[in-house]
Amino acid sequence: MNQHASHKPDYEKELRRAGVRITRPRRVILGILTETDDHPDAMEIFQRASAVDSSISLSTVYRTMKLLEELGAIHRHAFEGGRARFEQADGDHHDHLIDIDTGDVIEFHSDRIEALQEEIARALGYDIVHHRLELYGRKRRKS
């Protein structure tokens, strides 16, 4: 099991490569995504974007996130509790531990769990297309 270290992607380059226009709202949103390491939801991104340019709409945030998701630049997660949350897609697969008190997300990866999942699916006659492993926990109190 090991935690994961992130590196900054160049979203603007990715979008340009996809042939979409680099507009002012998009530039602001991409900037926010680039400088964040957590897992914000659309509303959080919208608020941070509004602080930079108050004319940006929530719709544009959603549209931009959908665009980035389709390009494979970000991942959308439906953790418990309403809103979807986003994170940059930096190649390496990982699962999530969500702090139920703060909402913080810790990424982790376990080859052993992945292998067991494969084993189980095979035994049931299935090929795994994707999976979802989320641990919801609380920080252990110092004893």
Site residues (vs DNA, CB under 7 A): 16, 20-26, 41-43, 55-60, 62-66, 82-84
Residue range at the interface with a copy of itself (CB under 8 A); choices 21-29, 66-74, 83-91, 120-128: 120-128
Cβ closest to a copy of itself, residue 21 vs residue 130: 130
The sign of the CA dihedral 67, 71, 75, 80 is positive
Give the number of residues written for the chain. Answer: 143
By CB under 8 A, residue 51 contacts a copy of itself: no
Binds 37: which of a copy of itself, DNA, none (CB < 5-8 Å by kind): none
Rounded Cα distance between 92 and 111, Å, is 12
Element spanning 21, H or E = none
Binds 106: which of DNA, a copy of itself, none (CB < 5-8 Å by kind): a copy of itself
Rounded Cα distance between 131 and 68, Å, is 21
